[in-house]
Chains A and B, each alone.
Chain A
Amino acid sequence: MSFIQACKMAVKSIKSNKVRSFLTMLGVIIGVSSVIAAVGFAQGSTKSITDMISSMGTNLIQVNIMGRNSNRNVTYSQIKEFAEENSGEITAVAPQSNTSATVKYKTNSRSTNVLGTSPDYQIIRSVYAQQGRFLIQNDLENMQKVAVLGTAVVNDIFEGTSPLGEKIKINGQLFTVVGILEEKDGGQDQGADDIVIIPATVAQRLFRSGMIRNFSIQATSPDTVESAMEKLEEFLAKTYKDSDAFRVFNQAEMLENLDSMTGTMTAVLAGIAAISLIVGGIGIMNIMLVSVTERTKEIGIRKAIGARKKNILVQFLIEAIILTGFGGVLGVAVGLSVIHFIIGGFGLVPEVYSIPWILISFGISLGVGVTFGLFPAYKAASLNPIEALRSE
């Protein structure tokens, strides 16, 4: 019997039992597509966070002060001074204090993120003013009540009038608007443009926050990051006398931390996907087992009129491959569509397609389909024809 003939026979058999064929394929489609979509989502989320950190540049060093002791304290001007002494390693220092507060212009008000920082923030984050100016050193030293606004805030409370030179109230205190930031995030209502920047020293007093706990520091080059970190640690240790009171870390370390975090997420999602693959696999298994049992009589008839065991096995093998293979292709298509139209389409996370996972899920479902299509067929084909014929 030729291979083409065997294929024709398999196709005929698939067509003649549409429900069974559909259910088998459905198992494969669900298994394969859920794995692909889940893994795509996990990898997309990872990518969006990684991208964000990477965009901060490899020269970035972050300092967090954790100690509660306010007697010993590193102030912005001390760190600034330290940075100037070490200008070979450090180019910029920006304190960072984020507080949620209400901004008010005339009768319009909005809750937004108020960031207290210094002029160096521009260099470190590449955030510049598109109109007016950014903070200057003098603002910090003389405690000037000035504010630079993100476009989301401007759009919301100014309603078309030019904000430059206008007075706004932050938590009840008057500030003069001196600049508008470049748009980072398309001016979306929530996000990077929903921000008001004021001098760090003013923020400290306004929010009575005591000390500044976060500093972003930029090293002169990726090569000097290590030595800058060492010097920073030395300097901070002198003040705090306790190495647990502060943390100094660079971008590479942030990415590492992130890796372990997103690794867990990927593992959880992959676990869920694996379960659905198993459930799909059991579905395939069931239908294959039932249908071969049902078809033992057919196998008996075929053997009785002269089919060899090999003929029977080839027919069932081709049937299983066509069913699970076709189902697998559809599953891949569904999985990719979910990533493209739903996960990526609504901008949840960037679209990421994982070729290895596509192959793994496809391979597993094909393997399950073929194994459980073939194994019972093998058993039935090993019976003598009369025994097989007797089964109803």
Chain B
Amino acid sequence: MIEICNMSKIYRIGNVAVKALDNISLSIKQHEFVSIVGPSGSGKSTLMNMIGCLDVPTSGEYRLDGMEVSGLTDDQLAYIRNHKIGFVFQGFNLIQKLNALENVELPLIYQGIPTSERYERSVEALKLVGLEDRIHHRPAELSGGQQQRVAIARALVGNPQIILADEPTGNLDSKSGKDIINLLKELHLKGSTIVLITHDNDIAMMAERIVRIQDGQINDDRVVS
């Protein structure tokens, strides 16, 4: 499903070049549940952005469902992000002036789902993350963990095949963190492919496979027994 081959991402700031991704090759099959771990600044988010079709690599190939992503138009990429991928950002990225429900609805709006169905599905998704009593709150009126859960609800409301979660438990206590992971596991059982970035070894262990990144390179890739 996800096939990355010799991918590099180099940021140039002035004369300094930062190799955020250094010749990475990685493939993830459908229905896999993969954790990506590594120290801060090692390139995890950069890799996730590439997988989520949010950014373009400096070099290398990326095939998604057999399609070469670099050959797709802007609108085709938007379609993929909209229909195939649910992305949970490290910094939530909620729209501040919209309330929880309106934020969760957004992917469905761009899918062209009619109002009533959109409302039902969004409320359903918010229930799933335990925020049914906060649907009219704006992000500024929610705690960090609650914002995180809104972001998760938004990622899963469109029933995407792939869920990419960048530190979804970073702002949560261990109990709420566990809840989120159990939710991801449930989605995994229902057939989703899950990629999860985390600092927490215990959480990483709950996946089927752990990929370890250091300095933009994969230095370990193992299946959890």
Chain B residues contacting A301 (CB-CB under 8 Å) are: 93-95, 106
Which positions 286-328 of chain A face chain B at CB distance < 8 Å? 297-298, 300-311
- Residue among A298, A305, A385 with most chain B CB within 10 A: A305
Contact assessment for A386 and B54 in the assembled complex, using a CB-CB cutoff below 8 Å:
yes
Contact assessment for B74 and A308 in the assembled complex, using a CB-CB cutoff below 8 Å:
yes
A307 to B93, CA, bound (A): 15
Chain B residues contacting A13 (CB-CB under 8 Å) are: 97
Partner-binding segment picked from A1-9, A158-166, A337-345: A1-9
Q: How far is the CB of B143 from chain A (nearest CB, A)?
A: 20
Chain A residues contacting B106 (CB-CB under 8 Å) are: 301-302, 305, 307
Contact assessment for B78 and A306 in the assembled complex, using a CB-CB cutoff below 8 Å:
yes
Chain B residues contacting A311 (CB-CB under 8 Å) are: 110
Q: Is B30 an interface residue (CB 8 A)?
A: no
Chain B residues contacting A297 (CB-CB under 8 Å) are: 93
Contact assessment for B97 and A17 in the assembled complex, using a CB-CB cutoff below 8 Å:
yes
Q: Is A16 an interface residue (CB 8 A)?
A: yes
Q: Is B186 an interface residue (CB 8 A)?
A: no
Contact assessment for B97 and A305 in the assembled complex, using a CB-CB cutoff below 8 Å:
no
A307 to B79, CA, bound (A): 8
Chain B residues contacting A300 (CB-CB under 8 Å) are: 93
| A contact patch SS | helix
A215 to B154, CA, bound (A): 89
Mask of B58-100 contacts with A, CB within 8 angstroms, 1/0: 0000000000000000110011011100010100011101100
Chain B residues contacting A5 (CB-CB under 8 Å) are: 109
- Residue among B52, B94, B106, B111 with most chain A CB within 10 A: B106
Contact assessment for B55 and A384 in the assembled complex, using a CB-CB cutoff below 8 Å:
yes
Known: A17-B97, A389-B93. A306 touches B56 (CB 8 A): no
A389 to B55, CA, bound (A): 11
- Residue among B54, B78, B154 with most chain A CB within 10 A: B78
Chain A residues contacting B89 (CB-CB under 8 Å) are: 304, 389
Chain A residue with the shortest CB-CB distance to B55: A386
Which positions 37-56 of chain B face chain A at CB distance < 8 Å? 49, 52, 54-56
From A16, A306, A385, A386, contact of B107 by CB (8 A): A306
A386 to B90, CA, bound (A): 12
Chain A residues contacting B109 (CB-CB under 8 Å) are: 1, 5, 9
Chain B residues contacting A384 (CB-CB under 8 Å) are: 54-56
A367 to B124, CA, bound (A): 43
B: number of interface residues (CB 8 Å): 28
A12 to B102, CA, bound (A): 10
Q: How far is the CB of A14 from chain B (nearest CB, A)?
A: 11
A308 to B75, CA, bound (A): 6
Contact assessment for B55 and A307 in the assembled complex, using a CB-CB cutoff below 8 Å:
no
Chain A residues contacting B79 (CB-CB under 8 Å) are: 306, 308
Contact assessment for B110 and A305 in the assembled complex, using a CB-CB cutoff below 8 Å:
yes
Q: How far is the CB of B150 from chain A (nearest CB, A)?
A: 12
A340 to B49, CA, bound (A): 61
From B55, B81, B95, B98, contact of A306 by CB (8 A): B81
Contact assessment for A16 and B97 in the assembled complex, using a CB-CB cutoff below 8 Å:
yes
Q: How far is the CB of B7 from chain A (nearest CB, A)?
A: 15
Q: How far is the CB of B156 from chain A (nearest CB, A)?
A: 12
Q: How far is the CB of B80 from chain A (nearest CB, A)?
A: 8
Chain B residue with the shortest CB-CB distance to A298: B95
Chain B residue with the shortest CB-CB distance to A5: B109
Chain B residue with the shortest CB-CB distance to A311: B110
Mask of A265-301 contacts with B, CB within 8 angstroms, 1/0: 0000000000000000000000000000000011011
Chain A residues contacting B74 (CB-CB under 8 Å) are: 308-309
Chain B residues contacting A9 (CB-CB under 8 Å) are: 109
Contact assessment for B49 and A386 in the assembled complex, using a CB-CB cutoff below 8 Å:
yes
A387 to B107, CA, bound (A): 20
Chain A residue with the shortest CB-CB distance to B86: A305
Chain B residue with the shortest CB-CB distance to A13: B97
Q: How far is the CB of A391 from chain B (nearest CB, A)?
A: 12
6 tightest A-B contacts by CB?
A: A306-B82, A16-B97, A386-B55, A308-B78, A306-B110, A385-B54
Further 14 A-B residue pairs, CB within 8 A, beyond A305-B106, A309-B74: A2-B112, A9-B109, A12-B98, A303-B81, A304-B87, A305-B87, A306-B78, A306-B82, A306-B111, A306-B158, A308-B78, A308-B110, A385-B81, A387-B55
